[in-house]
Structure 1
Amino acid sequence: MLGRWLGAAVLVCFVTGVISHYLQHPPGWLADDLPSRPAWGYRFTQGLHVASGIAAIPLVLAKLWAVYPRLFVWPPVRSVKHALERLSIGVLVAAVLFELFTGLLNTVQWYPWPFSFVPLHYAVAWVIVGALLLHIAVKWEDIRAHWGKRSSGTLSLPAQDTPDRRSLLLAVAASVGAVTVTTVGQSFTPLRRLDLLAPRHPDHGPQGLPVNKTAAAAGVTSVPESWRLYIEGPRPYSLSLAELRGLPQYEVELPIACVEGWSKSARWTGVRVRDLLERAGAGPGARVRVESLQRGGAYRVMEMGASYARDPLTLVALRLNGEVLAPDHGYPARIIAPNRPGVWQTKWVAKLEAL
């Protein structure tokens, strides 16, 4: 029973994690075809990714507690098949623990290790798949026999163990429910009042919206009065903040959804990116490269595929919930786009380049 619950949680976590990875790091052949709709898509899948990963932690601990004596049987290897089974179990346990606990630390942005989190987290997810497939292959006869017994009604368990099994399952279910209810409110805002253990609260932050990186942390301590937005293309031009505000303004409601699992919708007002690109002479299939005033970091420069660049919901936003952007939200201008990770909603925009 624990294995089925854990398997479901890990499967959901894996699928949503792969979606997240390709939305964050699309290969070139896929970049222009990533869907910009539904606008809430990344908020849903990433919230589910983090929620299922957190829920899997008490499940994996309970599963290990239930089976740990069998991890230390002697002799450790009795045959080639047994060696493969032990190998698959060892790799599977190590990889699942690595994924769950490094993922948990990522939600609080604590990285006490020397490696880059994203590529290794993604790679180890596929190690889990490989170890699981190997384990299923070497245990296939036992699996088939088990389900055959269940279907024929001959599977029996010791009656004296029933109360203990029931108590264990109830305790594990309560633990999963507790950690889920007290963390999922960071993305599922109807439960935000119960958001006691998550590192972010959707209502806490400048202008009622959380931030991961402040202006001070990004090195954007001040914006010069001479700031202009440069738009490069066949007909390059630049706009002052006053000129940007003088262009047709559009208001959209879109969520900020971060890879750490928190998200919240807000009203954004600004100029459509596609209008700026058309004025620069960019074709309908153009991508756009966005540069930030941020002084460094992996996300100072961002590229959007054509599907995002042409979407009418994608804005160079100047206002948040009717107010001028706060410095921590990207003043004087930032990108907001549908179905997109928060790390690519670039703040403190300095230049758009049609590609």
Structure 2
Amino acid sequence: MDVIVVGGGIVGTSAAFHLARRGVSTALVDSSHTGGATGAGMGVVFPWPLPWEEPPVQDFKAAAAAHLPSLMAELDEDGQATGYEVCGGMSVDREGDDAGHELMETLSRLPGFEGMGRVERLGQGRPRELFPLVPEEYGGVYIEEMARLNGSMARAALLEAALERGLRRFPGDARLLWDGRRVRGVRVGGQDMEASSVIVAAGVWSAQVLAGAGVALPVLPVRGQATHFALPGTDTRPWPVVRFGERDRYAVAFGPNRVVFGATEEPEAGFDCRVTASGQARNLTAALEAMPGLGEATVAGASAGLRPGTGDGRQLLGEVESAPGAVVATGLGSQGLTLGAFQGLVASRLALGEDPGVDLSAFRPDRDTRAGGG
């Protein structure tokens, strides 16, 4: 085996797909953990960088913005249902987001940002025309090429396409084969599988996998809960993604009549991935304050997932110096569906000893992620 990928979320399946399509002998080990972030993600896709972010972060996001649409188009041509839809997006508030409009309009004219499409200021009442649950007094900014992504569908599409290209899949929890000098492969279900390189893309459980090689990976579980509403008789498919600036919360519409609102950020929950009454109460209160029209909607369900976070907010991506043969790809927090597919591509390049194509110096998995750390 050339490469073993540990983790069956969007990062791991993307890495496996990019390897398999190149004819690399690849195995994917997918654990039985519940609460993975990919299936519970809100589905907001906004990959473009912002001016205050560090250059490596900006460059990574710009590359991801170019990669995701082309990858989804390739899978679509392959006959896979990806759950990716360009639907547009809005940031709204009661005052009208003039500053945000100027920022987005400026960005849309810069090289690398052409994919944002039309950026338009929305006067008071205009957001309601596009998303009828937004109150009349709101204005905002519209970005044409924002998208939504069904994480479960995207993961399934990547996995199926990789299996068709020769990927081997093994269910179970992986333990690294570590000889004290380098990672030689993994043990899963009592079977040892050796490989030249192992990609650890197991989300919040990546630290448990790396512990077998004596690596203390600084990834933290952050529970996020979302609330699902149904609007019988209403076609929500044309509605754009909405960010409510006052609350920094999102509403994402999916067909045929569903709206998802959230999500909470609960680092104190640890590895507890339950949907809780208090979390749903916060979501319901915030949702009804932002969109009173939801008062007559059906509460159709709720979801919770554990996002892989870091102390400094930057992802963990790169080779592990103290454990040669291991590549880490995790730590995307709330941007997993936006950046995960590209993170998987970069990890696949690293596993083959290739140039990653972007500067990874800010994402070293062995860095000190505490405030003031390096």
TM-score normalised per structure 1: 0.22
- Select the structure of larger CA radius of gyration: 1
TM-score normalised per structure 2: 0.21
**Higher-helix-fraction structure:** 1
Which is bigger in relative contact order (C-alpha 8 A, separation at least 6)?
2
**Higher-strand-fraction structure:** 2
